[in-house]
Amino acid sequence: MSDVDSFIDEVTEEVRRDRLFLLLRRWGWVGVLAVVLIVGGAAFNEVRKARITGQAQDLGDAILSALSQNDSADRVASLEGIEAATPGGDAVLNMLLASSQTEAGSRDEAVASLNAVAVQGELPEIYRAIASFKALLLQADTMPAADRRQQFEALATPGAPLRLLAEEQLALIDISEGNVDAALDRLQAMRQDAEIGVDLQQRVAQLIVALGGEPEPLVARQG
């Protein structure tokens, strides 16, 4: 390589370094900012996770302390004094509160606690359905059969998580209204349902026999 070529290479390399230095001076803050944002975001996530974990632990400790009360009225008072920071925590709290209120004989208050869970749109459907179902069971002696039927029918729609349990309650309403044939038809259909569990299937069969019917042979399920 000639001296001229070496000189040209050195000059070219120097120009490259100067351009790189200029770019770093002009745009280097972008890289620094990106690093700060990444580190800051990671730190924020860790703080947020720690706060959520701490809140859950505090809620759990408070609930365990409340449930340790032997008297149901004392449990109710303790649970009512707890505040939950999340919809999920509030749902758990209200479900436990409803159970203690039922034991204490405060059925109306228990229904109100369960209905508070049932209307929380942020909760998964299964939790809202359980709360609605339990609230309806508590009102078996106080709510008109027509109103209970309407609400159980809403819980028995195709794809609903408690569909078959709601169907069972609808059969019981049929029986209470003297419509035994309708109850038997509903119960026979339940036994053939592909989603029915063994315990519910046995319970339905026993109810059919108690009503004077005979459980129909089960249709073989494919798959």
pLDDT tens, 95-105? 889 999 999 99
Range of the domain at 151: 145-223
The pLDDT value recorded for residue 69 is: 85
User: pLDDT class for 216, splitting at 50, 70, 90?
Assistant: very high
- Residue 15 CA to its chain's centroid (Å): 63
Q: Which of 24, 49, 68 is the last residue of a domain?
A: 68
What is the rounded distance in angstroms from the CA atom of residue 10 to the CA atom of residue 4?
10
Q: Which of 26-35, 96-105, 170-179 has the lowest mean pLDDT?
A: 26-35
Tokens linked to 76: 């109710």
User: DSSP alpha helices (H): ranges in the chain?
Assistant: 3-67, 72-80, 87-103, 107-118, 125-138, 145-155, 163-176, 180-191, 198-210
The pLDDT value recorded for residue 51 is: 60
Tokens linked to 46: 């860790």
Give the residue-averaged pLDDT of 173-180: 95
Measured between alpha carbons, how far is residue 177 from residues 54, 66, 156, 216 in Å? Answer: 52, 42, 19, 24
What is the rounded distance in angstroms from the CA atom of residue 144 to the CA atom of residue 147?
5
Q: How many CB atoms lie within 10 A of CB 22?
A: 10
The pLDDT value recorded for residue 123 is: 87
User: pLDDT class for 61, splitting at 50, 70, 90?
Assistant: confident
Residues 59 and 103 in one domain: no
Percent of the chain residues past pLDDT 90, beyond the cut:
51
The pLDDT value recorded for residue 62 is: 83
Residues 222 and 160 in one domain: yes
Tokens linked to 64: 């365990």
Q: Which of 24, 48, 68 is the last residue of a domain?
A: 68
The pLDDT of residue 57 is above 60:
yes
Residues 23 and 64 in one domain: yes
Number of domains observed in the structure of the chain: 3
Q: Which of 14, 41, 68 is the last residue of a domain?
A: 68
